[in-house]
């Protein structure tokens, strides 16, 4: 597995990282086997967060006994204030079973309100700098879903890395943030490199990002076969063909500006609607037999009828999607898809 220097740090990381969200859905033994399998493939960079339920614990179990220099760990805290941030950091250290974390990030600095909070007196940024001085964190970073705000943060010079959504469809970062990171020597983690599962062609999505030799994609996976496919793409790089570039143009037009990134920042819904599942119905219908999709999705689709249009989800969405309206559109797609489903399959 090819490795690169991560920005201006002295971290040498695999050309692709592993994102820590999907292993939340696995049992601990399954997650441990998966993480160890990923390490065996040569992937040495794992990115997670204190808010990803038991992800850190599972990773910690998986790396127990692995020489510390053999794995690069990144995690994040969503705290606004110094005290809570340091509590989160100590929790991350305990869960991961390590004395330091290579890259610790301010999680989701996507609004001016959050910016003001983390940089206030006794804000989370003070806690991050304190942790670096104490040796608990080697390098400071941040993640964001707002490209303009991220560019401002990058220019402060306070951080060693930036993590932004970047893939073959979500290209907002491409014109300024991507070249800026290379120019000033910041590590760049491409969040949601396959669109949070919405992009069916993982090969196309990963190869698109591999065009940039300073960017590390961190796909979240649940099966070792998924990482094996990605590692093969890294080990046998193939430039995008003209036909594939046309495919991407078509895909961008199809998805438009209304696609859900499945970040789940809109959750929890007061009515218990699993929003990202509903908004991903087209992807599920493409990837699953209809009978299986019905078993997996129908309960979520039926819950949409309880939506009160309180718009709590809209206020939380970093992409400012009109979620109540999109819920209705996706239910219509679903209802049409299951019209001719054998009644016996609905039992």
Per-residue pLDDT tens for 131-142?
999 999 999 999
Q: From CA 12, how far away is CA 7, in angstroms rounded?
A: 9
> Alpha helices of 41-146 — where are they, by DSSP H?
55-63, 82-96, 112-118, 124-134
Give the mean model confidence (pLDDT) for residues 282-288: 71
Vertex 303 angle, CA 300 and 309, to 5°: 120
The verdict on 168 and 77 lying in the same domain is yes
In a domain, 261, yes or no: no
- Residue 25 is predicted with a pLDDT of 82
The verdict on 163 and 93 lying in the same domain is yes
The verdict on 52 and 166 lying in the same domain is yes
The verdict on 281 and 341 lying in the same domain is yes
* β-pair partners for 137: 101
Comparing C-alpha atoms, which of 240, 281, 243, 276 is closest to residue 261? 276
- Residue 47 is predicted with a pLDDT of 98
In a domain, 209, yes or no: yes
How many residues are there in the chain?
A: 347
Asked whether residue 174 carries a pLDDT value surpassing 90, the answer given is: yes
In a domain, 260, yes or no: no
Mean pLDDT, the chain, rounded, equals 91
Task: Using the CB atoms, write b or e for 299-337: b if 16+ within 10 Å.
Answer: ebbebbeebeeeebbeebbbbebebbebbeebbeebeeb
In a domain, 255, yes or no: no
In a domain, 263, yes or no: no
The verdict on 150 and 40 lying in the same domain is yes
Asked whether residue 128 carries a pLDDT value surpassing 90, the answer given is: yes
Domain of residue 86, CATH code? 3.20.20.100
Residue range(s) defining the domain that contains residue 336: 275-346
Domain count, the chain: 2
Q: What percent of the chain has pLDDT over 90?
A: 71
Asked whether residue 45 carries a pLDDT value surpassing 80, the answer given is: yes
In a domain, 270, yes or no: no
The verdict on 16 and 113 lying in the same domain is yes
Q: From CA 229, how far away is CA 325, in angstroms rounded?
A: 36
Which carries the bigger pLDDT value, residue 217 or residue 24? Answer: 217
The verdict on 228 and 279 lying in the same domain is no
With both helix axes pointing from N to C terminus, report the angle between 124-134 and 82-96 in degrees, rounded to the nearest 10.
Answer: 50
The verdict on 162 and 23 lying in the same domain is yes
The verdict on 210 and 313 lying in the same domain is no
Q: What is the pTM of this model?
A: 0.83
- Residue 276 is predicted with a pLDDT of 87
The verdict on 204 and 279 lying in the same domain is no
Q: From CA 257, how far away is CA 246, in angstroms rounded?
A: 18
3-class secondary-structure state, position 265: coil
Q: What is the largest CA-CA distance in the chain?
A: 64
The verdict on 332 and 199 lying in the same domain is no
The verdict on 120 and 199 lying in the same domain is yes
In a domain, 254, yes or no: no
In a domain, 259, yes or no: no
């Amino acid at each position: 597995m090819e490795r690169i220097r991560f920005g201006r740090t002295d971290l040498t990381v695999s050309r692709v990282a592993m994102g820590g969200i999907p292993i939340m859905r696995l049992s601990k033994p399954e997650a441990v086997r998966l993480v160890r399998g990923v390490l065996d493939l040569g992937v040495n960079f794992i990115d997670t967060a204190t808010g990803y339920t038991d992800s850190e614990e599972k990773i910690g179990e998986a790396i127990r006994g692995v020489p510390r220099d053999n794995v690069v760990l990144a995690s994040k805290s969503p705290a606004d204030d110094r005290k809570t941030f340091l509590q989160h950091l100590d929790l991350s250290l305990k869960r991961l079973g390590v004395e330091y974390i290579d890259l610790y990030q301010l999680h989701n600095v996507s609004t001016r309100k959050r910016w003001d909070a983390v940089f206030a007196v006794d804000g989370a940024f003070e806690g991050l700098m304190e942790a670096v001085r104490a040796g608990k964190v080697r390098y400071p970073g941040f993640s964001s879903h707002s490209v303009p705000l991220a560019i401002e943060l990058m220019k402060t010079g306070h951080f060693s890395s930036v993590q932004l959504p970047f893939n073959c469809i979500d290209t907002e970062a491409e014109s300024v943030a991507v070249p800026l990171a290379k120019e000033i020597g910041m590590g760049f983690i491409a969040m949601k490199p396959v669109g949070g599962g919405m992009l069916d062609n993982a090969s196309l999505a990963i190869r698109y990002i591999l065009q940039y030799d300073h960017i590390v994609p961190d796909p979240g996976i649940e099966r070792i076969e998924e990482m094996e496919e990605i590692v093969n793409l890294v080990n046998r790089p193939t430039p995008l063909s003209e036909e594939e570039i046309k495919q991407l143009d078509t895909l961008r037009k199809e998805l438009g500006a209304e696609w859900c990134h499945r970040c789940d920042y809109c959750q929890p819904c007061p009515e218990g609607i699993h929003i990202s599942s509903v908004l991903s119905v087209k992807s599920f219908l493409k990837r699953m037999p209809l009978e299986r999709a019905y078993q997996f999705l129908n309960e979520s689709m039926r819950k949409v009828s309880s939506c009160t249009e309180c718009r709590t989800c809209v206020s939380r969405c970093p992409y400012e999607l009109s979620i109540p309206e999109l819920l209705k559109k996706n239910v219509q797609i679903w209802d049409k898809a299951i019209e001719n489903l054998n009644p016996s399959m609905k039992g």
